[in-house]
Structure 1
């Protein structure tokens, strides 16, 4: 039978492979806490992979939803490392079940929506796929301050997801997805056709990109307003993750906004400098 330790090791491999930024930042937590973060990341990653890589994503996501509801009733496959690790997390922390459900609703949006008319619509999506993760983590990172930190956690998710969108424009186009809001694009004279040919040098593209980057920066700043409410180790982890993610924006600027054919990352030495300064 699969042990809890083996289950957590499996989850660690997932986060270490797919998100070096989160892995590095949250490894600063106490052991029990960073293991819980690994399990939650594995859950989120599984849902994300179903939507992006599943052979029949609608059916697979429906099944995953059903598996989660069964899991909440204590019914799950004990040989599945993600559910085994997550069961241990739910037994040790007062987890927010609705945050998990809302994340799955956000994943469902990616199956039916590939364009967003307004920033308001986009932020609803960002809340569901990213802010919910912050709400999942709060009972682990700051169990006594969940209510105080809720809005900051939501803001951090919004800032990070907008950053993802600005980084992954080319990758999303390959999946026929455009997350840049139509109203902001229109206001700046940016057309879908310009995106499809990889137009990154025009004022229309750069102004649209920068407008969304400004919104992302506002959300990061809102997060930092309450960051001191976190316990020490959690504060270092959350602040580190926020700063590392925010650094993606100037990294893209330095590369002349070339987001259509390459994916930009913060260099390892820059990451280390940021984490040392938190």
Structure 2
């Protein structure tokens, strides 16, 4: 399916993608077709679920997540149901919802239409991922909400379970889509499948550690209360200026957990066949960008300040360029990964 003759719904997806994800706007185009459009549509449906989780709280959010999962199976009459879903969702979103997220949610019927043009295995893998993701979001979303009642995720186990629902499931789905597309990947399924969840979890945990303040200001905390309590902290006190040293110790302990997940994620990428350059690059780019982000936030008190901590454009260009050159050179990639992760806590 080339961009010149693809359906309008797929073209809409290509147009909206850069506005909702800079990373996936970079790496999805390196995938071979039709794997690229399958992953793009899958990502956008997951992003719609993420918007509902972030911007629509309470019973309405849970009901909308359940309906999104149902619509992703493309049941009879889904077109009319998708329009009603969009209207209801727009009514309950926060006024501060970013414009790009609103546009994507308004386009839910078109994203579903783009899903419908793909083969049955693709549709099945995507629907299964959305079902697991939305069920988990509905179950755990309210646990992460911070309020006067002292909510928040209780333990590291709960934090990792949350990461699984919102990202580990994506790692599983990507593996199934890669296997569907490539016989060479299918031959390595036994090595890939046990590490697929870690690939998604690692990226999500790095985002959680990067976005601590932003999440708290939105009324959520995905850090485990038990780890915070080790340093005399709660989600409600985490941003207090007089608690900075304790907060960074707790943050550093979780950086070590993210480092562990990244190591497993790297093993996942190394298990992909070298001849599948596009699939490897698709995974290498967000993985190494996550490594550079984790290096940036580790021990950096600015992560708890108002100005977001981000890696530079120069760093992004270096990651993309170097991994593109080294995509099939396993030994050099391993040395590069070891060198870049060396400063991170074990």
Give 5+ residue unaligned stretches, structure 2.
Answer: 84-108, 145-151, 181-185, 324-346
| Residue 251 (structure 2) aligns with | 209
Q: CA deviation at 1:118?
A: 0.8
Provide TM-score, normalisation by structure 2. 0.71
Cα shift at 1:109: 3.1
Partners of 1:102 and 1:92 in 2: how far apart?
A: 17
Contact 2:171/2:198 (CA < 8 Å) preserved in 1? no
Q: Is the 8 A contact 1:131 1:154 kept in 2?
A: yes
- Which residue of structure 2 aligns with residue 19 of structure 1? 21
Provide closer, same or farther for how the CA distance between residues 263 and 148 of structure 1 changes in structure 2, counting only shifts above 3 A: same
CA distance in 1, matches of 2:242, 2:37: 42
1:1-278 aligned at under 5 Å gives the runs 5-54=7-56, 56-69=60-73, 71=74, 73=75, 75-77=77-79, 80-91=109-120, 93=122, 95-96=124-125, 97-114=127-144, 115-143=152-180, 144=186, 145-197=188-240, 201-202=244-245, 204-230=246-272, 231-253=276-298, 256-278=301-323
Moved over 6 A (4+): none
Does the 8 Å CA contact 1:200/1:258 hold for their aligned counterparts?
no
Return the offset for 1:124.
0.9
Greater radius of gyration (CA) = 2
Structure 1: 5+ residue stretches without partners: none
User: TM-score if structure 1 supplies the norm length?
Assistant: 0.87
User: In structure 1, what is the Cα distance between the partners aligned to 2:253 and 2:179?
Assistant: 32
Any conservation in 2 of the 1:51–1:110 contact (CA below 8 Å)?
A: no
Count of aligned residue pairs for this structure pair: 273
Q: Aligned-pair RMSD on alpha carbons?
A: 2.5
